[in-house]
Amino acid sequence: MAGRDTRFIIIGSGISGVLMAIRLLEQGYRNFTVLEKASEMGGTWRDNVYPGVACDVAAHLYTYSFARNPGWQTRYARGADIWKYNQGVARRYGVLPHIKYGKEVCSARFAEGVWQLTTQDGCEYQADVVIAAVGRLHHPVVPQIAGAENFAGAQFHTARWDQSVDLTCKRIGLIGTGSTATQVITALAGEVPALTVFQRTAQWVYPVKNTPNPWWRRLMFRLSPSHWKHYYLQLQSETEERGKATTGSAEARAARDKVCHDMLASIRDPELRRKLTPDYEVGCKRLVFSDGFYDAIQKPGVEVITEGFARIEPEGVRTEDGALHEIDVLVYATGFDAHAYLRPMQVTGMDGRTLDQVWQDLPLSYHSVMIPHMPNFLMINGPYSPGGSASVIGIVEAQADYLMQLIDRIVSDDVLLAPKEEASRSWLEGVRELARNSLWGTGGCQSWYLDKTGTPTLNPITLTELKEQIAQPDYADFVVEPRQRT
């Protein structure tokens, strides 16, 4: 490695990958390539194009702190608008020329001080430093239901929405009632002749109003960066306060709970209200934020089914009570494998130690950004990153600042850097203990972020606490070795 000629590979061109590319460019590192598995950049907001797709974090907060967008039309942005924003930022900061598309990384092997990466198309790349920015929610989960292969109509996951299917005059069956399903229901209710919602678990819904940003406010944000910054920090504070209800703050929790209970009480039909009433505490699962779900679910033509599946037949779904629910299109709003992380990529580090070996029991990491035995292999938004108390962009910006300090050490001293296993286990156990004692671990529900032991895989700290914890690296927790040249 020769200073600024250090070779970097970034895996993924979503929000985190673009951020790390910008950080490298800012520090004068230009010898890097972004490997993207798809034919376009964008991650989550490229893949999800289902009706009603939007972000449930306020738009002005769901932006890079250094790349404000005064022009958001509404408080919460549509998915397509976020994708355009991300593309614009990548273009403005010179990231696009570094991206190679159609390059899904299938393996990364460390040998003789260098990482060797292989993509599905057989191409090989070498890097001194690898930065995995693959995201957490990108492997769709489709439940195995008997007879699914016999269904006569179209069927697809929301993250693989088939835009060639005309929904006009179609009877839609939707499996799920989480955040994505809520958005689909709100968009389609009243627009299709029949919408049958197959609910596995009722969700607590927190009302939000997607109010327009008037022209004068957009103009003020454009003319006064300080005014925009003040609004950004205000949104950040509000989000953090709401997130604190997960780990404490009885007053905040009580206020939040009352809002959710009051919204549920607004459902006029007692039977429908019963079906939509969760049997666990508010906040045990990630709250669903919506400004129209309860109105939509009560519209004519919408039916909520709570009986379990018996099988799927050519004409529709037969439930365990023997009823056949006839549908023309079946949509799976069934989430993602939140525990895949880097997989199915095969990663082999120092002394032939594989990722599967290191993660045999748990996805062991250090501050969610590095893995023992994997020198100069960095992650952003990795296992046990915080969630629920901040915009993910605030979280990855904090992690990126930390990673750049590690990168500068790797480059300036020409070293291999990896966290010690004991330091990683100590950090991880501290996070797991905190998570077990949070509402996520004690609220009596099942959720996608619980691991096989029932422990939440999210770090329940606030963004402020995260920034304090990773303000500076503690190199006593690392193995630092000179890089052996061949």
Weakest mean pLDDT among 80-84, 244-248, 251-255: 244-248
Q: Taking 80 as the threshold, does the pLDDT of residue 484 lie above it?
A: no
Query: pLDDT digit string (tens) for 161-180?
Result: 999 999 999 999 999 999 99
Q: Is there a domain that residue 302 lies in?
A: yes
Cα–Cα separations (whole angstroms), residue 142 to 69, 175, 176, 318, 378: 36, 10, 11, 18, 30
Q: Are residues 455 and 469 in the same domain?
A: yes
Q: At 388, phi and psi to the nearest 5?
A: 90, -15
State which of 335, 364, 397 marks the end of a domain: 335
Identify the residue whose tokens are 């799976």.
Answer: 332
Predicted local distance difference test score (pLDDT) of residue 485: 59
Query: pLDDT digit string (tens) for 409-456?
Result: 999 999 999 999 999 999 999 999 988 887 665 666 666 667 777 777
Number of domains in the chain: 2
State which of 301, 335, 369 marks the end of a domain: 335
Q: Are residues 36 and 94 in the same domain?
A: yes
Burial degree of 333 (CB within 10 A; 0-12, 13-18, 19+)? buried
- Considering the entire predicted model, what is its pTM? 0.92
Cα–Cα separations (whole angstroms), residue 396 to 17, 379, 435: 10, 10, 20
Q: Are residues 329 and 360 in the same domain?
A: no
Q: Taking 60 as the threshold, does the pLDDT of residue 247 lie above it?
A: no
More confident residue, 160 or 135: 160
Backbone Cα Rg of the chain:
23
Measured CA to CA, the distance from residue 227 to residue 246 in angstroms comes to: 30
> Which residues constitute the domain of residue 415?
3-138+338-482
CATH classification at residue 396: 3.50.50.60
Q: Is there a domain that residue 80 lies in?
A: yes
Predicted local distance difference test score (pLDDT) of residue 3: 64
Q: Taking 90 as the threshold, does the pLDDT of residue 53 lie above it?
A: yes
Q: Taking 60 as the threshold, does the pLDDT of residue 1 lie above it?
A: no
